[in-house]
Amino acid sequence: MTSFNQHTTGSEVAKALTSRSTGKTFIITGPSSNSIGGATAIALAHSHPKTIFLAGRSESKILPVIKDIKAVDSAVDVIFVPLDLASQASVRKAAGEILASGKADVVHGLINNAGIMCVMPYQETVEGIELQFGINHIGHFLLTNLLLPRIVAAGPHARIVNVASTGYMLGDLDMENYNFDNGKTYHPWLAYASSKTANILFNTYLASHLQDKGVEAFALQPGMLKRQIVPPTELYVHTRDENSLASFTEAFKIITKRWEGKTPPSGDLKGDEKTLETSASTLVFAALDPGLDGKSGLFLRNCEPFPVEGYATNAERAEKLWKLSEKLVEEKFDI
């Protein structure tokens, strides 16, 4: 589809696709320094957008990203918005600030990037939802719907980008037991897989219901940071103890058992090894590339379509998740 690949940087993608970004408005969640979200925000600056909203928990961790964006293009209007996806009140407040800012009458791209992985021990959001499902999916579900009228208003090919993972293949989402028996049967990798399956199902629902409104949705695998990346990003904080259930050794055990006798649907893991800069490429690609016009709903890896198992893209399950999500945020959204 493109000349972009595993080794393309986010800034290279952005520079190639400037015409789809110049003068436009974007929102990125989880854009802290030394993270894929931060690298994506900096890369996006190379395509000269008008405004970038950076929504995250810690302003101090986002200020270095703002500085780097300004170094790339001082004309970009960069706005920090406090956002804690583990609190629905915080999500509503953040959305309210964006909508009331006067700088988001139209939103051309929402990049739902923020996420956590393999939390130990079991934890819940403010509302009592298992933390990975709550942050990775429910918080973004609420934020996306609150901002959706402004995304629709942006016109043809406005984009919603949902950062998922091929890690969804470690397990399915049990919508009847998303809290793992209130933590009694909790496994950090299975909870992560549940949340990433939810990301893809959410993307599936958005794609099918927004196609007539000019909005396109894409889910993706950003890549896995090379082990030698220093300092390591916070995403991997729970995976570093090799004796923990959250270790990558444990993940490979689950994969081997779940896909025994079959090739895991993750692709060659070496194809996922990236730096922060190359990890940002597929996010920027999903937000901007004109080659994706009219192809809403795709899952992307290394800046090209990648197949996904049917349980993560099933339309009936996507609708069931939508209804569950509405119940958990206590609000209905008809799109």
Residues tagged active-site: 192
Residue closest to 214 by CA, chosen among 178, 160, 167: 160
State the amino acid at position 156 in one-letter form. P
Query: What is the 3 state secondary structure string of the chain?
Result: CCCCCCCCCHHHHHHHCHHHCCCCEEEEECCCCCCHHHHHHHHHHCCCCCEEEEEECCHHHHHHHHHHHHHHCCCCEEEEEECCCCCHHHHHHHHHHHHHCCCCCCCCEEEECCCCCCCCCCCECCCCCEHHHHHHHHHHHHHHHHHHHHHHCCCCCEEEEEECCHHHHHCCCCCCCCCCCCCCCCCHHHHHHHHHHHHHHHHHHHHHHHHHHCEEEEEEECCEECCCCCCCCHHHHHHCCCCCCCCHHHHHHHHHHHCCCCCCCCCCHHHHEECHHHHCHHHHHHHHCHHHCCCCCCEEECCEECCCCHHHCCHHHHHHHHHHHHHHHCCCCCC
State the amino acid at position 225 in one-letter form. L
Q: Which residues in 123-162 are b (16+ Cβ under 10 Å) and which e?
A: bebeeebbbbbbbbbbbbbbbbbbbbebbbbbeebbbbbb
Tell me the C-alpha distance between 26 and 19, whole Å.
14
Tell me the C-alpha distance between 199 and 31, whole Å.
18
